[in-house]
Structure 1
């Protein structure tokens, strides 16, 4: 009777399902672009990891990625097109007003990333979003 109750109880427990997640085949250094030969699939239980290799290939490692460990969503991003200390075009647009000036990037960033920029005229530090053409759009 006790054995039957134990088996019934165990059958009610959720099973840990393992899905294949993307892991580095070798150590990938920060700021390196990930290629198909750098990654592989491994059965691991992790909800915050990539499951499709196509989502990872072509992205840039934000931190060092170690072989065999899952690649998490925050570990990679679009390749940087703006480098630290690079002079970039700043644009601000609001209610018909458009301002263009130059700024110095205070950090690296890829398309869509929010980066800190120093306005070269006023020396003010601003935040803006990196655009596909390498400029930075500043918003209020």
Structure 2
């Protein structure tokens, strides 16, 4: 019996990593701030670092005290559907801008369709981190 106890004590111990939980009820679509979450040791699983969660957007509602699962997070939406955006075409030192209406929502780096308000032509472009839509030459 003592041999069994000694053997169990010599086995590597698994570190009980904490989990990021919500400090308050967070509705879907919330962009998580540092004050919205905390690290708790008694709920293993989920995201283990607050820095991975802050700035991300929730796809579903998370109740107070519940852990935040990585599958519930997405990059924050910068451009909403039907939002008026700036369409920009860039080549070398040339930059042409126009006003357009986003036909779908998008995060930074995603390609969305935008309708030019002046010409009513639909173009596709990549959402920039500042919310402008950069159109590429075909």
TM value normalised by structure 2? 0.64
CA distances 1:66-120 after superposition (whole Å, capped 9, x unpaired): 4412342861544x4422111211123235554433332233345x342412233
Shift in alpha-carbon separation, 1:19–1:5, aligned structure 2, 3 A? closer
Q: In the alignment, which residue of structure 1 is the partner of 2:70?
A: 72
In 2: Cα distance, 1:128 partner to 1:18 partner: 42
Say whether the 8 Å CA contact 1:16–1:45 is kept in structure 2.
no
RMSD: 3.6
Shift in alpha-carbon separation, 1:77–1:66, aligned structure 2, 3 A? farther
For residues 78-93 of structure 1, the aligned pairs below 5 Å read 78=76, 80-93=77-90
CA distances 1:37-58 after superposition (whole Å, capped 9, x unpaired): 5323212433x61523x66455
In 2: Cα distance, 1:84 partner to 1:42 partner: 37
In 2: Cα distance, 1:139 partner to 1:18 partner: 48
How many residues are treated as equivalent by the alignment? Answer: 132
In 2: Cα distance, 1:57 partner to 1:128 partner: 24
